[in-house]
Amino acid sequence: MTRLFITGYPGFIARRLMRLIKESGVFDEIYALVEEKFRERAENLPESKGVRILVGDITEENLGIKEAPEGITHAVHLAAIYDLATPRDPAYRVNVMGTRNVMKFLEGQGSVRHITYVSTAYVSGNRTGIVREDELDRGQDFKNYYEETKFLAEKVVVEEFSHLPVGIVRPGIVAGDSRTGETQKFDGPYFVMEALSRLPLWFPLPYVGNPAVRPNIVPVDHVVEGIFKVITRELTGTYHLTDPDPMNLHEMYRLINYLLGRKRLLNFSISTGTFRLFLHFPPLRGSMPPQVLDYFETHALYDCTNARRELGWNPPRFEEYAPVILEYFLKNRKNQL
């Protein structure tokens, strides 16, 4: 009897992962930990049929579950605060203490064969150059509390629970489905699309930021498939679910402008600091959190040798699916305003 336990449902990645897991039929029973405020929504989702919803909270002892299941064999921990602007206290409580609580709960089961922990490539913080999958603590600083607390949470997993069979996945910036454009939340590259789409096409735009920077964006369908393989193959180790050959910032900027219909850009670049000032004025006010611009200065490249070798990881390049995710964004953004 195989029993899967999943946190973070019905979040963006967790919901898609649940669909894939249900379609595969590889687990006999599935338990999803859901916060009370999301209970009704989770119970009414089509992929929840046959899933045992457990109301609880990872910040509480024993995850706040009144009647805990027994005999869990597999688990995937996705629940976290992903907001770049989050204050430290709630981020630490959920991302660090919550992860410790989840690991303690699973340790107490005594039956767990495999745990998948979903981290982020940006535990690298302000590191530059090539970041390898077997590297974590290199004395780096962090751009925000999201990065810092995900780094500390990963340290909890690898240092305090090293005796448990854990596979760690570190996605890059997750965008929509590479085939349909579907996404649950417009953040990451969508902030750039929002800002640029507000400016008239005749308005002369310079480039923004350093062309040496290579933002690492990956489509959610490939990320979910990668996580699924780690779970079902019971792989231990760390896997970068990142673009092995990302476009540079200016290439990406030019592509998005072109897809929006802007054919020409001015032949010079302004700094992200200058662009940050423009965010205070119409029409750009409110188009993106200023913290997003920190990723226009991230000089890191993420080696994904383990993922390519053991998962067959081979995501499409951003330019291959950018038209699809931009089309989906333009059709659906008003629904999220």
Q: What is the pLDDT of residue 334?
A: 80
Q: What is the pLDDT of residue 95?
A: 98
Token readout for 70 is 């027994």
Contact (Cβ atoms closer than 8 angstroms) between residue 33 and residue 65:
yes
Torsion, CA 35, CA 39, CA 41, CA 44, rounded to 10 = 140
What does the angle CA 76 – CA 105 – CA 16 come to, to the nearest 5 degrees?
20
The candidate with the shortest Cα–Cα distance to 54, out of 27, 36, 70, 29, is 36
Q: Is the torsion defined by CA of 267, 272, 274, 277 positive or negative?
A: positive
Residue 31 carries which side chain, given as an amino acid letter? Y
Q: What is the pLDDT of residue 336?
A: 60
Tokens 């089961």 map to which residue?
A: 109
The candidate with the shortest Cα–Cα distance to 51, out of 100, 13, 6, is 6
pTM of the model: 0.96
Residues of the chain with pLDDT under 50: 337
Q: Where along the chain do its domains lie?
A: 3-173+218-241, 175-215+246-299+317-336
Exposed, middle or buried by CB within 10 Å (0-12, 13-18, 19+), for 74? buried
For the chain, the three-class secondary structure string (H helix, E strand, C coil) is CCEEEECCCCCHHHHHHHHHHHHHCCCCEEEEEECHHHHHHHHHCHHHCCCEEEECCCCCHHHHCCCCCCCCCEEEECCCCCCCCCCHHHHHHHHHHHHHHHHHHHHHHCCCCEEEEECCHHHHCCCCEEECCCCCCCCCCCCCHHHHHHHHHHHHHHHHCCCCCEEEEEECEEECCCCCCCCCCCCCHHHHHHHHHCCCCCCCCCEECCCCCCCCEEEHHHHHHHHHHHHHCCCCEEEEECCCCCCCHHHHHHHHHHHHCCCCCCCCEECHHHHHHHCCCCCCCCCCCHHHHHHHHCCEEECCHHHHHHHCCCCCCHHHHHHHHHHHHHHHHHHHC
Name the packing angle between helices 249-260 and 318-332 (round to 10°). 50
Q: What is the pLDDT of residue 337?
A: 44
How far is 331 from 304, CA to CA, in rounded Å?
A: 33
Name the packing angle between helices 189-197 and 318-332 (round to 10°). 60
CATH 3.40.50.720 corresponds to the domain 3-173+218-241: yes
Q: Is the torsion defined by CA of 203, 204, 210, 213 positive or negative?
A: positive
Token readout for 336 is 């999220």
Contact (Cβ atoms closer than 8 angstroms) between residue 102 and residue 160:
no
Residue 29 φ then ψ, to 5°: -135, 145
pLDDT digits (tens, 9 = 90+) for 3-19: 999 999 999 999 999 99
